[in-house]
């Protein structure tokens, strides 16, 4: 047998005339006649070992849905059954069962439907990057509407699922073959087993599914559903705000329409994204934009195709208006102006996603969003008149993706993103071509990317574009001229087996700019990388598995041709038989770093000396009530540098099968950090600062699950950053520091506090009620001399003015097929 391929199992499903009752009992007569899939094989902790307890799975189908029934033999007293939130089974004390479907049989994409012993559901879109290891099965942000029920009997537990065809996509054929996989996970021994063997030495997951054969005469239904919503609430702003209270009212709808058997249109009309977890804002002293996690459901669900080329940073859509800060700075004088209105978020009119895959395995995705023009209103005191100022033009965001799956795991992808803004505002277009070619035995791969960006119109010049000085002055204001850029990467790798290696090279031109809809911290780089690794997947003495890797990175600038830094790193990972894990790594930058970005000024660079980092991290056995994870970092540099320390400790305690509380504390202390001081000389030259920098982040999270469909979650985050400047410098042509006089009054004492609480009740399939309460303190200036440590700042945060918001949202799911049957 060739390397990378195991024996593929086949099973079939029984077509039925009458649907079984979904009660978790498997006592309908049809289940007794269905073929049985059994003989599961361990994937972890001991690959290819037989499953400890017998498992049997049966499949039924009719014209509306496919049904899954499973009997999981076990001692009922030993079954773990903690209640969790939806998609929250990982690292929790619960057993689960999962079915996967590769409906196009392309060995790359699929759907996962998982149910725990407590009948909590998880679902995911499975992608080519899914590994099947440690719960990496796919994109869990995707939520489908399906039924499940579990019961516990004398000899184990039972699962019954009904997965309607409206939650799947498949081609229209008389006889179909799907990829299929079954998974059983037992928490008490951390045992993961698959029906069709999943070999950890083989690259990929979907390509190791079995086959579901002879599905006959199933007709893709008219997939049409509506989720109208209404939302209401009140916001109480901090003292000093323009308004003491604001009433929040919103209404809209999400629509899903299956245009044909393969393609689905998702639309959101007048979306309201208020009920999302607060961002983890920091005191950002770097030259790069902080990237935030996307929490808005429409932009997280089913976007895996749009994200494949890495050009879709959805937080660009509905972001803070580009002119917001200008209003605050230009009209911030309270003796001359009163800012009556300055929106902090851009309202969307609508957003639409069209995606699917043809019978020829061509994936097609089209995304469009329209953002409303935003205006601030400023009152001039002298003339007693109001002026409306546009802070964001009417904008249209578009993505088109064509993704062709080839033989095996190979694929080619074309992506185009463009942003069109009304009037003379800047427009942008980015095109990308990606390929991943695997050898027939799945052992080696050649992957690559090509990118081209084009910026149209004139962009207001700012320090954010300090590497681009091709400008034009219009009416006394400086603008960047239209510009274009490119990037490309090529990577060759051995991707299967215990011993793996790779080498790659990447180039980004100085004017490559995908940031109107994507996210790139810094262009203008030439990157060379090489790595080797060895992994042992079979248990050895006290270890379940372990791995080692060695990596080399070299970064230079594209223009000018200038070396930036080289980095050598080594890492080891060990998983012990008591299910504790440990990883350790060391990183060396032997020649230091030359940065063109740090000082945010064209023509200036900053030279940093050599540095050495060590990192140790790990966690305890997640099956226990007490669970601990940790990370410790130590860094040292040339003699002018003092050490850097980071300590992160996370604690989780499970009080019962319903209530879990966790705490995470992250502390960083850089005794002598060097960087841009956000100051300039009279001639515009940047000033460098040495500073004593420390920050502490404390996050408390609690979850109480009343039932499998009702829970309360609370999250509290306090962030403190203290910056004390020690000395200031200018720089010469090579980036070396030149002493200058000290500048007083530049220290910072920065506090942020957020409390988010959400009660969620899924009162029927696809329908829910969400009650939310948010409390925040943003960027409050607290006396750093008087309150000079973390605990004093934490206590003082509760003594300053906070904002509060209370909201209630009602979402109701309507399926056209159910409505038609009722009438």
Nearest-angstrom CA–CA distance, 692 and 708: 48
Is residue 394 exposed (0-12), middle (13-18) or buried (19+ Cβ within 10 Å)? middle
Determine, yes or no, domain membership for 43: yes
Stretch (H or E) spanning 433: strand 427-438
pLDDT band at 5 (very low <50, low <70, confident <90, very high): very low
Q: What is the domain count for the chain?
A: 1
Segment 486-528, tens digit of pLDDT: 999 999 999 999 999 999 999 999 999 999 999 999 899 999 9
For residue 186, pLDDT over 90 is answered with yes
pLDDT at 810: 94
Segment 605-661, tens digit of pLDDT: 999 988 899 999 999 999 999 999 999 999 987 655 678 999 999 999 999 999 999
Segment 535-546, tens digit of pLDDT: 999 888 899 999
**Across 34-43, 101-110, 786-795, least confident range:** 786-795
Determine, yes or no, domain membership for 158: yes
Determine, yes or no, domain membership for 734: no
Nearest-angstrom CA–CA distance, 643 and 713: 38
Kindly state the tokens that stand for 129: 């990057």
Segment 227-281, tens digit of pLDDT: 899 999 998 877 665 557 788 888 888 898 888 777 888 898 877 766 678 889 8
Q: Domain range holding 60?
A: 10-216
For residue 823, pLDDT over 60 is answered with no
pLDDT at 209: 96
Predicted TM-score (pTM) of this structure: 0.88
List C-alpha distances in Å: 376 to 320, 379, 384, 459, 742: 12, 10, 16, 21, 39
Determine, yes or no, domain membership for 611: no
For residue 3, pLDDT over 50 is answered with no
Of all residues in the chain, what percent carry a pLDDT higher than 90?
Answer: 65
Is residue 733 exposed (0-12), middle (13-18) or buried (19+ Cβ within 10 Å)? exposed
Q: Count CA atoms closer than 13 A to 523's CA, side-chain side.
A: 24
Nearest-angstrom CA–CA distance, 582 and 564: 32
Segment 693-726, tens digit of pLDDT: 999 999 999 999 999 999 999 999 999 999 999 9
Q: Decide if 413 contacts 367 (C-beta within 8 A).
A: no
pLDDT band at 575 (very low <50, low <70, confident <90, very high): very high
Q: Decide if 182 contacts 778 (C-beta within 8 A).
A: no
Domain of residue 78, CATH code: 2.60.40.1190
Assign residue 541 a region: left if phi > 0, alpha if psi is -120 to 50, beta otherwise?
Answer: left
Q: Decide if 361 contacts 391 (C-beta within 8 A).
A: no
Nearest-angstrom CA–CA distance, 607 and 674: 10
Determine, yes or no, domain membership for 476: no
| Secondary structure (DSSP) of 478-501 | EEEPPEEEEEEEEEEEE-SSSEEE
Determine, yes or no, domain membership for 367: no
Determine, yes or no, domain membership for 187: yes
Segment 415-440, tens digit of pLDDT: 999 999 998 889 999 999 999 999 99
Instruction: Label the pairing between strands 14-15 and 55-61.
Output: parallel
Determine, yes or no, domain membership for 58: yes
pLDDT at 588: 95
Calculate the average pLDDT of the chain.
90
pLDDT at 780: 58
């Amino acid at each position: 047998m060739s390397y990378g391929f195991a024996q593929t199992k086949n099973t079939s499903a029984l077509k039925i005339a009458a649907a079984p009752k979904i009660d978790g009992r498997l006592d309908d007569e049809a289940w007794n006649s269905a073929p049985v899939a059994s003989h599961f094989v361990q994937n972890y902790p001991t690959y290819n070992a037989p499953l400890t307890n017998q498992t049997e799975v049966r499949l039924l189908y009719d014209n509306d849905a496919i049904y899954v029934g499973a009997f999981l033999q076990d001692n009922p007293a030993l079954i773990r059954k903690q209640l969790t939130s939806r998609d929250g089974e990982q690292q929790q004390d619960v057993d689960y069962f999962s079915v996967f479907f590769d409906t196009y049989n392309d060995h790359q994409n699929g759907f996962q439907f998982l149910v725990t012993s407590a009948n909590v559901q998880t679902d995911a879109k499975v992608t080519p990057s899914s590994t099947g290891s440690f719960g990496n099965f796919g994109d869990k942000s995707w939520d489908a509407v399906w039924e499940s029920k579990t019961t516990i009997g004398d000899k184990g537990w039972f699962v019954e699922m009904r997965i309607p065809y409206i939650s799947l996509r498949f081609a229209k054929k008389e006889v179909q073959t799907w990829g299929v996989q079954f998974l059983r996970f037992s928490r008490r021994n951390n045992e993961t087993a698959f029906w069709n063997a999943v070999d950890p030495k083989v690259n990929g997951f979907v390509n190791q599914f079995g086959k579901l054969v002879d599905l006959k005469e199933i007709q893709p239904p008219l997939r049409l559903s509506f989720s109208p919503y209404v939302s209401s609430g009140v916001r109480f702003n901090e003292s000093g705000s323009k308004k003491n209270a604001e009433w929040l009212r919103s209404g809209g709808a999400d629509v899903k329409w299956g245009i044909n058997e393969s393609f689905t249109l998702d639309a959101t009309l007048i979306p309201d994204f208020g009920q999302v977890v607060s961002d983890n804002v920091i005191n950002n002293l770097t030259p790069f934009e902080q990237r935030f996690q996307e929490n808005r459901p429409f932009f997280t669900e089913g976007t895996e195709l749009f994200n494949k080329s890495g050009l879709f940073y959805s937080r660009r859509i509905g972001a803070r208006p580009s002119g917001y800060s200008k209003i605050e700075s230009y009209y911030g004088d309270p003796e001359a102006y009163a800012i009556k209105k300055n929106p902090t978020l851009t309202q969307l009119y609508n957003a639409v996603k069209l995606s699917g895959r043809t019978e020829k395995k061509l994936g097609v995705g089209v995304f469009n969003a329209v953002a409303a023009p935003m205006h601030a209103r400023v009152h001039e005191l002298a003339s007693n008149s109001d002026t409306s100022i546009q802070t964001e033009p009417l904008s249209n965001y578009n993505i088109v993706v064509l993704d062709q799956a080839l033989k095996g795991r190979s694929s080619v992808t074309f992506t185009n993103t463009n942003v069109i803004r009304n009037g003379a505002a800047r427009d942008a277009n980015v095109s990308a071509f990606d390929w991943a070619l695997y050898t027939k035995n799945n052992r080696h791969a050649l992957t690559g990317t090509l990118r081209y960006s084009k910026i149209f119109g004139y962009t207001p010049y700012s320090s954010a574009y300090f590497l681009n000085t091709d400008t034009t002055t219009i009416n006394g204001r400086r603008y960047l001229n239209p510009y274009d850029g490119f990037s490309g990467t090529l990577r060759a790798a051995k991707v299967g087996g215990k011993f793996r290696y790779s080498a790659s090279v990447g180039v980004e031109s100085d004017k490559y700019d995908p940031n109107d809809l994507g996210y790139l911290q810094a262009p203008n780089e030439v990157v060379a990388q090489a790595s080797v690794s060895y992994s042992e997947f079979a248990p050895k003495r006290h270890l379940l598995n372990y791995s080692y890797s060695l990596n080399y990175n070299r970064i230079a600038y594209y223009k000018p041709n200038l070396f930036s830094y080289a980095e050598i790193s080594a890492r080891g990972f060990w998983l012990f038989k008591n299910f504790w894990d440990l990883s350790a790594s060391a990183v060396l930058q032997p020649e230091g770093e030359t940065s063109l970005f740090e000082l945010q000024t064209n023509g200036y660079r900053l030279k940093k000396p050599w540095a050495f980092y060590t990192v140790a991290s790990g966690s305890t056995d997640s099956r226990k009530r007490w669970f601990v994870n940790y990370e410790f970092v130590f860094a040292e540099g040339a003699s002018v540098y003092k050490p850097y320390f980071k300590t992160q400790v996370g604690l989780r305690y499970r009080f019962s099968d319903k209530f879990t509380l966790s705490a995470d504390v992250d502390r960083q202390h850089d005794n002598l950090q060097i960087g841009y001081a956000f100051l300039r000389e009279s001639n515009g030259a940047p000033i460098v600062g040495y500073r004593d920098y420390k920050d502490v982040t404390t996050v408390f999270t609690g979850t109480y699950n009343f039932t499998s469909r009702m829970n309360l979650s609370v999250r509290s985050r306090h962030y403190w950053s203290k910056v004390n400047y020690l000395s200031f410098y200018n720089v010469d042509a090579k980036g070396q520091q030149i002493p200058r006089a000290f500048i007083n009054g530049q220290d910072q004492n920065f506090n942020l506090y957020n409390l988010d609480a959400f009660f969620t009740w899924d009162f029927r399939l696809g329908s829910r009620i969400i009650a939310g309460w948010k409390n925040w303190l943003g960027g409050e200036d607290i006396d750093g001399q008087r309150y000079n440590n973390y605990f004093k700042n934490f206590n003082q945060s509760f003594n300053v003015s906070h904002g509060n918001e209370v909201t209630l949202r009602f979402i109701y799911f309507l399926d056209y097929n159910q409505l038609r049957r009722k009438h």
